[in-house]
Structure formats: C-alpha cells, structure tokens
C-alpha cells in the first residue's frame, strides 16, 4: 500500500509546477487509481 501511495504522490509532485505541490484528497485518489496493485512475484 505504501509503495502505491508513494508512486501516486511522486506523480503528482512531478506534474506540479510548484516546488511544494499541493493536492486534494480527490486528486490523490485519482492518481492512486492509476497505480496498479502489487502482484506477487514467484
């Protein structure tokens, strides 16, 4: 879970023009939806 949230937050930060990105819970949820769930690797 933490990895997906980190990727979503990083995506928002990269796409932001601000040095310190500001985003809402809604925009974070949208970004998180774009990050696939973890899969078990055998």
Residue 33: the pLDDT is 94
Residue 2: the pLDDT is 87
Cα–Cα distance between 14 and 21 in angstroms, integer?
9
* pTM listed for this prediction: 0.62
Give the number of other Cβ atoms within 10 Å of residue 29's Cβ: 11
Q: What is the pLDDT along the chain (42 residues), one digit of tens a residue?
A: 788 999 998 988 888 888 777 889 999 999 999 999 888 888
Residue 42: the pLDDT is 81
Q: What is the C-alpha radius of gyration for the chain, rounded to an integer number of angstroms?
A: 12
């Amino acid at each position: 879970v933490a990895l997906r949230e980190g990727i979503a937050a990083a995506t928002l930060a990269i796409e932001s023009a601000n040095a310190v990105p500001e985003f809402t819970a809604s925009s974070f949820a949208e970004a998180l939806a774009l990050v696939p769930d973890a899969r078990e690797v055998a």
